Amino acid sequence: MRRPPNIDELLQRMTLAEKIGQLNLLSAGEGPETGSAHSRDIRARLEAGQLGAIFGTKSVRSVRAWQEIAVEGSRHGIPLLFAEDVIHGHRTIFPLPVALVCSWDMALVRATARVAATEAAAEGINQVYAPMLDIARDARWGRIAESPGEDPFLAARYAEAMVGGLQGDDLTALDTVAACLKHFLAYGAAAGGRDYDNASLAPAELIGVYAEPFRAGVAAGAASVMAAFNAVNGCPMHAHRGLIEGWLRGVCGFDGLVVADYTGVHELIAHGLGDRATVAARALLAGVDMDMIGEDYLACLPELAEAGLSRPEAALDLAAPAIIAAIDRSCRRVLSLKQRLGLFEDPYRYCDEARAKGAALAAPHRDLARRAVAASCVLLRNEGVLPLKPGSRVALIGRLGDDRANMLGTWAVSGDPGQAVTILEGLRAVHDGPVDHAKGANIVDDADIAARLDVFGPTVLPDPRPEAELIAEALALAARADVVVLVAGEAKEHSGESSSRTELDIPAPQRRLLEALAQAGKPIALVVMAGRSLVLARESRLADALLLAWFGGTEAGHGIADVLTGRAEPGGRLAVSLPACSGQVPIHHGAETTGRPWTGQFQKFRTGYLDLPGEIPPARGLYPFGFGLGYTRFEWGEPRVTPASPGGPDARVTVAVTIRNAGDRRGTEVVQLYVSDPVARIVRPSQELKGFERVTLDPGEAREVRFTLARDDLTYLVGDSVEGLSRVWDPGSFILRLGPNSRDLTSIEITWND
């Protein structure tokens, strides 16, 4: 154990070059690269004292080797930070974030983060690039898979749970890691759902919706934040001083480390902000402390610190002292995080081969993952097919029904697909009856798409036989079975980074397979594998049961089988609305009301679409946010509100409802509270989620669920600029809505006076 340094003294002893070195962040080159690398020579950088952190190591051995060079081979012995993309698990892979959020179970989310931190920390990793907190309302955007979904309130609870699980109470503990909230800000609001595209948002929506999970994550103590690739209202986030230094640090009180995303500083050149020196200066001054991959800080800051920078064409005039002060400030943040992690005392404290071996995929971790799968599966429709009848002969059909390569889903960079449980294995292990499998169709039939899906290795693995032969084989299997379980959907890289899609359907060959099977007359339970909210209109018509299983991770096969056989409840409730057709996105449950609402009396001249079936509200989708079925039935009592007419700033309102399990098996209901503000100074969302509670009851059991609202819960932001935002509320009428999803709600109107 060494004595931790005094950071002020250390900074005084460091040269400018050494400080700039601390701001450089490179990849170990052992994982995926999402852009071009400027330097792969980590050893040379380390020996020259030009590296502060490495991400993407895959073993204790490599962490230890790099750390040794950093500590033993440099003047001040400053240890490296080791970071990794631990998005939904490290070695034990949990369901995709968007799936996990569907559990609405924040204790579960926290437990998965705890496991991820334990596994990662044992391998020497001390910072993880998670949680991803980008609100996503446009399913064309592939990174909706990593997101907490469409709703800021739910996403904020996810942020708190993830930060709590990853960081615990003590960052020096051997089983905790520093969280990194990403991608700040509004990456999920990309124009057209195209990854990396820019966002244009009114300040109140930017802060009130998109920044809300970041506010919650900071309040929960997150140690770091990553900047987003996109521009917001014309300013790229890597240069957005107003949002990073102004809002995040100034308003929100964040005092941790801000890292760039992969070549994010360098990409400011392509954004049109100027040459390498200009963008390095802009990013540093904006508050981006560490430069990932691009090495613009390393290349440009020494000279900038000497000469300053004058670029009239970029409206930039910076004196050298301002640059030097910013370098000092950022270096201090890097060193402080290393200090908080206890790395100065023992740079190898997190490196432990034995602990790493024992932690990875440990039995309790896998058990938790299996539970998390069942808790994330959303049952959308069930005409008496599920749970499968004991003894029934099951025809398990679908290329994804016996698949390991896709099960982990996107961004599982340290997961081993070989460890994943297939649905066939899972079902055979728990179903009391024969289970036979046929592929029935390939995942896709377009060679170009297949090649793009295989970017990180083979996942499409096409069967060369003609489509008719594959379908005939499936039909023959179905003919002999009591029930068909068809598994269809996306390949893992259909969603994820740079995997935006214009059509949100299940790929064509699998759709044709479903159509053929539907003719065969056997009941069909369709299990959908996906990383985004797909359009399932046709599938809802053709299948008797519809289970959205997302990508479930290592234990996907077991967890899905548990749900199919009724060993577990399908616990999921949608964290994203499912559109009725691709043209309906972006979509979310709280769309603003308009002057010509869809419910208006003039058939044609109202807000909606000509070609959307009349029964589907244009802003709601086929399956609403918060929706999901279980295997039992709940009866809801009348909601009660006390007091009905509150007044004064400190007033509280309690809303209560009693629910009863009226079915014959134990089950879970997620009680959801929404609030509408029907008369306000500006147009408000049609409704906002303000509370939820998961309630698990035995048959016949009843429970009262209560929510308390304060006046603060009714406030909202107004203002024409981020700096000018203020929080207001409009006394008078409010409508409280309670129900099991964002559509099926019972409303009570209250009057809340000043």
Could you list the residues that contact ligand BGC (CB under 6 A)?
A: 34, 85, 129, 182, 261-262, 497
Taking the mean position of all CA atoms in its chain, how far away is CA 186?
Answer: 13
561 φ/ψ angles, rounded to the nearest 5 degrees: -65, -40
Nearest-angstrom CA–CA distance, 33 and 295:
15
Closer residue to ligand BGC in complex, CB, 237/526: 237
Q: Which of 409, 492, 500 is nearest to 188 (CA)?
A: 500
Q: Is 380 helix (H, G, I), strand (E, B) or coil?
A: strand
Nearest-angstrom CA–CA distance, 314 and 319:
15
Q: Which of 253, 100, 84, 93 is nearest to 162 (CA)?
A: 100
Please report how close the Cβ of residue 25 comes to ligand BGC at its closest, in angstroms: 10
Q: Enter the DSSP assignment of 606.
A: S
DSSP letters of 394-453? EEEESGGGG-STTTT-SS-TT--GGGPPPHHHHHHHH-SS-EEEE--S-S---HHHHHHH
Buried b (16+ CB within 10 A) or exposed e, 79-114: bbbbbbbbbbbbbbbbbbbbbbbbbbbbebbbbbbb
Task: Give the orientation angle of helix 106-122 with respect to helix 363-376, to 10 degrees.
Answer: 140
Q: Which of 406, 440, 411 is nearest to 423 (CA)?
A: 406
Q: Is 272 left (phi over 0), alpha (psi -120 to 50) or beta?
A: left
Q: Which of 695, 694, 689 is nearest to 742 (CA)?
A: 689
Q: Are 592 and 545 in contact (CB under 8 A)?
A: no
Q: Is 688 helix (H, G, I), strand (E, B) or coil?
A: strand
**Is position 261 annotated as part of the catalytic site?**
yes
List the catalytic residue out of 261, 352, 544, 730.
Answer: 261
DSSP letters of 501-534? -S--SPPHHHHHHHHHHHHTTS-EEEEEE-SS--
Cβ–Cβ contacts within 10 Å for residue 455, how many? Answer: 13
Total H helices, total E strands in the chain = 22, 28
Please report how close the Cβ of residue 499 comes to ligand BGC at its closest, in angstroms: 12
The sign of the CA dihedral 450, 452, 456, 457 is positive
Cis peptide before 131 (omega within 30 of 0): yes
Both tokens of residue 338? 């290393």
Q: Are 490 and 507 in contact (CB under 8 A)?
A: yes
Closer residue to ligand BGC in complex, CB, 36/753: 36
Q: For ligand BGC, which residue has the nearest CB?
A: 34
Instruction: Report the residue count for the chain.
Output: 754
Residue 259: CA atoms inside 13 Å, Cβ hemisphere, count?
33
Residues with active-site annotation: 261
